[in-house]
Amino acid sequence: MSSEPGVETRHSPPVALTDDDLPDLHDGANQASLRGQTLFLRATWLKLVVACTAAGVSAIPVDEDYHRVLTSFVGVCFLAVLVVEAFVWATKPERDWYDGRALAESTKTMAWRYAVGAAPYAQADPTARARFVNDLKQLLKDAPETGVHPSQKEPISVAMERVRAGSLEERREVYLRDRLEDQRRWYAAKADRNRTRATQWRIFLLAFEGLAILGAFTGHVGAAGFIAAIVAAGAAWMGIRQHENTKRAYTFATHELAIAGNELRMVTDEERWTEAAADAEEAVSREHTMWRASRSSVG
């Protein structure tokens, strides 16, 4: 309600911090990671599909007149697999995927630590700004080549400074809402999706394994061999996607972040907040470190 007739009361917009407010290094690394992921998964999918096609064509009984055509087609299929494999080996898109994600997440956690006054950037520390910029510079120096685009933003955004200038209660509200709860929802959605995908692929593999057994016992050896190739391709794809492991990791992360959020709500002094918020960031970083370790072993 306004204090004078005809005059509207203006409310300040709520303080918030989104990914758009993070340093440009995060944006560039994130985009490089997504490009690498898309390229790697598409190339892997193409190799498996073409290999299965070659196996299927090989199982087709043909007359001698068409045998040459069939063998040539199979040869072209495996040549295509070879070309895709050589392309992946030369460009290493999985490296951009993993390293880009690591750089993006490292930048993100540093930015959040600075914005909310978490260690090592305590709000009372007059050198925090200079330390953050130096840490960002070192992160860029140590970062692998990931095709990051040139920076178009300041390393410390206006939104980051607004959050940092707020009271403990305001910073806690922003951190719980825009960092922990947002991350927790993302983990929960991904855990559910990976749970569904894992179940679907298990059913798919069991069904085709049953078909392979049926084909073998009924004398359709060629068909059984083709189905075996499909099963092998499906198993290889599951090894790349790691739905089961990802589901467990993300489910664990949602519980850990829920506990961290509950602990942060009870923090009432600045010194304790500095350490508690840093511990919460460690929980987020720990999940990603485990993810990268598992992915790197596959790549």
Instruction: Please name the residue ranges forming H helices in the chain.
Output: 24-58, 64-91, 93-116, 128-142, 158-165, 168-174, 182-217, 221-241, 243-265, 270-298
Q: Tell me the torsion sign for CA atoms 108, 111, 117, 119.
A: positive
What is the rounded distance in angstroms from the CA atom of residue 164 to the CA atom of residue 170?
Answer: 9
What is the rounded distance in angstroms from the CA atom of residue 134 to the CA atom of residue 234?
Answer: 46
Q: Which two tokens stand for residue 58?
A: 């090989």
Q: At what angle are helices 64-91 and 24-58 packed, to 10 degrees?
A: 160
Mean pLDDT across 3-23: 64
What is the rounded distance in angstroms from the CA atom of residue 248 to the CA atom of residue 122?
Answer: 34
Mean pLDDT across 85-102: 91
pLDDT of residue 3: 40
Scanning the structure block, which residue is given the tokens 């489910």?
251
Q: How do residues 145-158 score in pLDDT, each as one tens digit?
A: 666 666 678 889 99
Contacts of 176 by beta carbon, 8 Å cutoff, 6+ apart: 261, 264, 265
Mean pLDDT across 25-43: 91
pLDDT band (50, 70, 90) for residue 10 = very low
Q: Which two tokens stand for residue 185?
A: 């929802």
Domain ranges of the chain: 20-100+120-160, 166-299
pLDDT of residue 189: 96
